[in-house]
Amino acid sequence: MDSTGLVSILQQIRDSEDNRSTFDESWTQGRSAFGGLSAAMAVTAMDKLSNGELPLRSLMVSFIAPLPPGEVQVDATVQRQGRNVTQTGASLYQDGQLCLQAMAAYGISREELAVPADTVSPVSRESGLQIAEHRKRLPAFLERFDGAWVSDALPFSGSKSRQLNMWVRHREDITAFDNEKLVAIADIPPPVVLSFFDQPPVPASSLTWSLEFVENPKRITGDWFYLEFTTEAAAEGYTQQSGRIYSEDGRLCALSRQCMVYFGNR
């Protein structure tokens, strides 16, 4: 097992009494950790509160301060445990500084009215620009993933496209962490508004993020995911984007929404 990989990082939290772990610079974007990693660490700590028995239904994350490489400690608590839904919270600290707060809702499955989600027929992975061919211009953490862009909205392409489509999978086997597998994948797309710029640098990062799970992550098979993300609006240095995460066979797995900040006049 890769001692710097996602499984190792999350396993440290799962095994430690006080939810501690460490990560290195290979998981960074700029001066902070990849948001999908820090959110996944919070989820691992919250999952421990229910022994991973309840399906994860929604996740809300606030990125409060940069998280540089090093040791991380997560405080997780049960906010309320009801008959159907358990709500938990997590705070992620480094050197005593609060870097991230998260809330998660876990809910039992019940026999109720079912309204099927839409499906898609994803375009071929082979038709796009492979991440491996573009890595020198990309954040360090993308070395941990395989994938391809299959739309025009590449960062700093000047395409002014509001739609970003891509394929992604983990490069390591992460089946032992079903929830975290999907959480990390869902945060890979950069701010889609970066396609409106011709050249870097344009510093940008997430402020808040919500993720709703249409399918129980534990029931999702396959390693590849197809992502469709859209810029809803951008003004005054803030942008809103929404996203859909599909399984390889086109089933909707999760819905994403983010408020992000960008500094295009530097």
pLDDT tens digits, 77-96: 999 999 999 999 999 999 99
Instruction: Please report the pLDDT score of residue 5 as a whole number.
Output: 96
Confidence band (pLDDT; 50, 70, 90) for 31?
confident
* CA separation for the pair 10, 38 (Å, rounded): 10
167: number of Cβ within 10 Å: 24
DSSP symbol at 200: S
6-108+119-262 CATH choice from 2.60.40.10, 1.10.3720.10, 2.40.160.210, 3.40.50.720: 2.40.160.210
Q: Is the pLDDT of residue 136 over 70?
A: no
Question: Pick from 181, 245, 206: which is nearest to 47 by CA?
Answer: 181
Backbone angles phi, psi at 19, to 5 degrees: 55, 55
Region of 25 please: left (phi>0), alpha (psi -120 to 50) or beta: alpha
Q: Which of 135-139, 154-158, 168-172 shows the highest mean pLDDT?
A: 168-172
Q: Is the pLDDT of residue 37 over 90?
A: yes
* CA separation for the pair 77, 43 (Å, rounded): 12
